[in-house]
Every structure is written in C-alpha cells, then in structure tokens.
Chains A and B, each alone.
Chain A
Amino acid sequence: MDNFTVGVVVFPGSNCDRDVSWALEGCLDIRTKYLWHESSDLSDVDAIVLPGGFSYGDYLRCGAIARFSPLINALDDFVKSGKRVLGICNGFQILTESGFLPGALVSNKNLNFICDDVELDIVSSKGGWFNNVDEKQTIKLPIAHGEGRYHCDSDTLKKLIDNELIALRYKNNPNGSSFDIAGITNERGNVLGLMPHPERACDETIGGTDGLFTLKSLILK
C-alpha cells in the first residue's frame, strides 16, 4: 500500500474532491493525486474516485458533459484492466451517463434537494466495497442531492437483481429511486456508483465512520 495512489478527478464544478482526498489521506493514510479532467494519463494511479459536485454546472443533465472529457474517455481501458473506480453522487451520475453503469439518475420525486443521513442496507458483497461478511448489515451515510432518483427499465432491474449488482438500498427511500436503489456495481465488481457520500462519514467527530470501509476498499486488487 506504500505507493498505492488513488486518483481523485477534478471537473469544473466538482466540490467533494478535497473531502475525498482528506478522507483518504487523513483518515486512511492512502496517497491521493488530483487528476484534472483534461488529463488522459492514468498511468500513475491505481484506483480512481469520481467525486461529488456539479460537473460542468450539471448543464443539460447531471454528468452529461463530463462524459466527454478526455479523462472519462481514458477510463474505459482503466476499468477493463480491472482497476477500481468509485463514483460518488455526481460521480455516480457520470458513470451512468457514460455507460459504465446501467440506468440513470433523475430529479428526486419530491423535487427537494435532500441533505440528510440515511440508513442503508448492504445488499451485495460484489467487489468487496462493503463489510457484509456476517448477517445483512445496515450502515448510515449522508446524502446530499437533488437528482438522485435511480431509474432503469424493468429488464435492467431484473438483471441488477439476478446478477447481484445492487450494492445498497435505502431503508426509507428518500427520493423515489426504483427498488430503493442507492448504489450499484458493474458485473465485474470493480466499478461502484452510489449517491451517499462515504467520504463524509470517516471520522466520529463529524457523525460516523461507516464510510471508511468503502474508501479503504479502493486498495483491493
């Protein structure tokens, strides 16, 4: 882990990039490197986080413009090589817009921007992103989004369920997401997208540490 480096992508409008970097470095002693979205050289990072925020002002649709950045173009080979990619909030929206994960994220059912702590059931152990070795477990993470309602067609939902790609479900669905979905992985398990913010739950003094496991799991091979 000595030289393991997590790339934290910075788009114009990202605003959780520093939180992610502080959580990784300060709480977990994992080295990070900011990656400007114009960069397509991913050779010196071992995992990547797409942080929350409002990339390109959320113009057109959340994540729609970011999809065309050089960095996201380069992400295809990175993912195919099996390296790990974590998309948080706006990062999740970018991963669905760019086709790394199925479905889409649309306006919350009640139109509110919801900023709250939510309880989540860990559903799948795919990719080792969550600690659910024992019984079905529940964690608490903060959410902060206006467009976090996960939507997919019924065939996609069936595929998600059958292939155990649903990572997290809301216990009390706050935004109207299909099947209470809060986070999903790709089939290989090396890409996780989720609306809750694990980087905001990495220290007891700010309300909890349930996000640590997910960030720490970035170093898994």
Chain B
Amino acid sequence: MDQFAVKVFVRLRPSVLDPAGEATKSASIKLGAEGIKSLRIGKMIEVKIEGNGENEVREKIDLLCDRLFANTVIEDYEYSLEKL
C-alpha cells in the first residue's frame, strides 16, 4: 500500500457571491493594502490516505470531493497529491 498526502482546494464558483471575501477585501483595504482587485475565500482540506497506487487514490479523492468536500452546485474543487 502506498500512502499519499492530498491537499484539496474548495472554492465558491465565480458566479456565486462571496460576502465573506468582500468583507475581508474591505478590511484589507482599511489595513492599507493597495492594489487588491479581488479577494475570495475558499477551504483547504488535507487528507492522508492509503491505496494501491495513485490511480486508486485519485478515484477515492474524486468521490470524496464530488460527494462530500464540495457542493458542486456552488463550489469547484481541485487537488494536489504527493506520495509519501
């Protein structure tokens, strides 16, 4: 069995308003940061997972992302995978 470290990034789809991102952008500007054109907040999920090779692990992660980690009505996801 191989072990992998997976980082999943879940983001609101561009068409979905992100009021928390807007509020954070506003605070960033009040802090004095200049030049911020856009700020959107997502989630990062770290998973350590075992499997027989990368393909099998990708199948498991795809299922997790599609069914649980993201709600694809409002969110997109992508992930990176590193063999440990």
Contacts and interface: CB of A to CB of B under 8 A. Distances in A.
Interface of A: 60-61, 64, 68, 96-97, 102-104, 106-111, 149, 151-153, 176
Nearest to A149: B17
Given A106-B17, A153-B15, 12 more contacts: A64-B68, A64-B71, A96-B73, A102-B73, A103-B73, A104-B73, A104-B74, A106-B12, A106-B74, A107-B20, A108-B19, A176-B19
Contacts of B17: 106, 109, 149, 176
A97 B71 contact: yes
B19 A107 contact: yes
B61 to A, nearest CB: 16
10 contacts: A102-B73, A103-B73, A106-B16, A106-B17, A107-B19, A107-B20, A151-B74, A152-B73, A153-B15, A153-B73
B44 interface: no
A111 B16 contact: no
Interface string B48-84: 0000000000000000000011010110000000000
Interface of A is mostly: loop
A111 B74 contact: no
B40 to A, nearest CB: 12
B23 interface: yes
Sort A-B residue pairs by CB-CB distance and give the 8 closest, nearest first: A104-B73, A104-B74, A111-B19, A107-B19, A104-B71, A109-B19, A61-B71, A151-B74
A152 B74 CA distance: 8
Contacts of B68: 60, 64, 68
Interface of B: 12, 15-17, 19-20, 23, 68-69, 71, 73-74
A153 B73 CA distance: 8
Nearest to A62: B71
Given A104-B74, A106-B74, A151-B74, A60 B69 contact: yes
Nearest to A108: B19
Contact of B16 (A61, A96, A151): A151
Contacts of A97: 71
A104 B70 CA distance: 12
Contact of A151 (B20, B69, B73): B73
